[in-house]
Amino acid sequence: MWVYAGLVLAMLFYGGSFVSTKLALTAFGPLTVLAVRLIISSVFLVLLDSVIRFPGRPSGSAEYRRWPARTDLAPILLVTLFQPILYFIAENFGLQYVSASIAAIMIATIPVFTPLIAGPLLGERLSPLGIVGLALSLAGVAVIVTDSRLASDFTFLGLLLIFVAVLAAVGYSISVRRTPARYRPLTIVKFQSLLGLPVILLLALLIEGTPETLPSVEVGLHLVYLGVFPSSIAFVFLSTGIRNLGASRANVFTNLVPGFTAVIAWLLVGELFTWRKVVGMLVVVAGVFAAQRGRTAATSRSGG
């Protein structure tokens, strides 16, 4: 039960992250926002991992490791490539051209694309219901982006960038699943922040330079929120869910993100709420559930 509760909390934190990122982008460039976010996250995770002791030992290992062995660097670097580097760069740049709630609706399609991409890698077949779910999810996104009242909420470049983030999230789920069991989810998230930080920091300095002014108190609070909750605690919950439930079952919880984001965006920044947006959101969620049911049925028939 605690795994499911953690996943719901993670989606709540992710839902708020789209709004906080949009507000932070009013003061800094996307790479600077990401660099500050990762600095806060790295410090928080190192401190957290040094004080929290988990009981028990991983299956087949003598003990949990706090730092990566040289032989384990390849899978950990792959995790880092997908998250935070590819995902957050695509998401932060995409949020310059897409509203928070529309970005969250697109992110909710992650569970649909996970079996589609993971299938060839893990030997899983996409079921008929999975195909229906994919079609429904894409139709739900189409309902929203063809609403003339929401024309100012997105550009097609923004949609493309958010879709790149979706693909990066799928890659992250698969790579986390393949990391050795001797690393706790908390430790994996610490690795991805520490290893991703130098890359993002260098890109931020080269492309955007150093910030000329300090952030306002409001922007500073949003940056702290982004570093502690979505970038740290939520990833620990998500990695734990992927380890315990599998990538597809854990990712199905992302269908909660659009609802959380829409409400938070409406309360904090007054984003437009239309019936067409609500209908599109419900169609996307229906597609996610159809894809998940198709995967479950296929797994049951195969004896998995």
User: Which residue(s) pair with 154 in the sheet?
Assistant: 98
HSE on the CB side for 55, CA within 13 Å?
0
How far is the CA of 220 from the CAs of 23, 28, 37, 228, in angstroms?
Answer: 10, 11, 10, 12
Residues 34 and 92 sit within 8 Å (Cβ to Cβ): yes
- The mean per-residue pLDDT over the stretch 168-188 comes to 83
pLDDT at 176: 81
pLDDT at 113: 77
Closest CA to 165 of 97, 223, 65, 63: 97
Confidence of residue 122 (pLDDT cuts 50, 70, 90): low
The pLDDT of residue 178 is above 90? no
- The mean per-residue pLDDT over the stretch 40-57 comes to 77
Query: Which residues have a Cβ under 8 Å from the Cβ of 251 and sit 6 or more positions away?
Result: 110, 111, 114, 169, 170, 173, 242
Residues 165 and 14 sit within 8 Å (Cβ to Cβ): no
Closest CA to 27 of 255, 233, 211: 211
- The mean per-residue pLDDT over the stretch 52-75 comes to 67
* pLDDT per position as a tens digit, 235-286: 888 888 877 777 667 767 777 787 788 788 888 877 776 777 778 778 877 7
Of residues 249 and 105, which shows the higher confidence score? 105
- pTM for the whole structure: 0.79
- The mean per-residue pLDDT over the stretch 140-146 comes to 71
Residues 173 and 243 sit within 8 Å (Cβ to Cβ): no
* pLDDT per position as a tens digit, 161-175: 999 999 999 898 888
Element holding 4 (H helix, E strand): helix 2-24
Only one residue has tokens 């100012």, namely: 152
Residues 147 and 281 sit within 8 Å (Cβ to Cβ): no
Of the listed ranges 52-61, 198-207, 219-228, the least confidently predicted one is 52-61
Closest CA to 83 of 17, 25, 170: 170
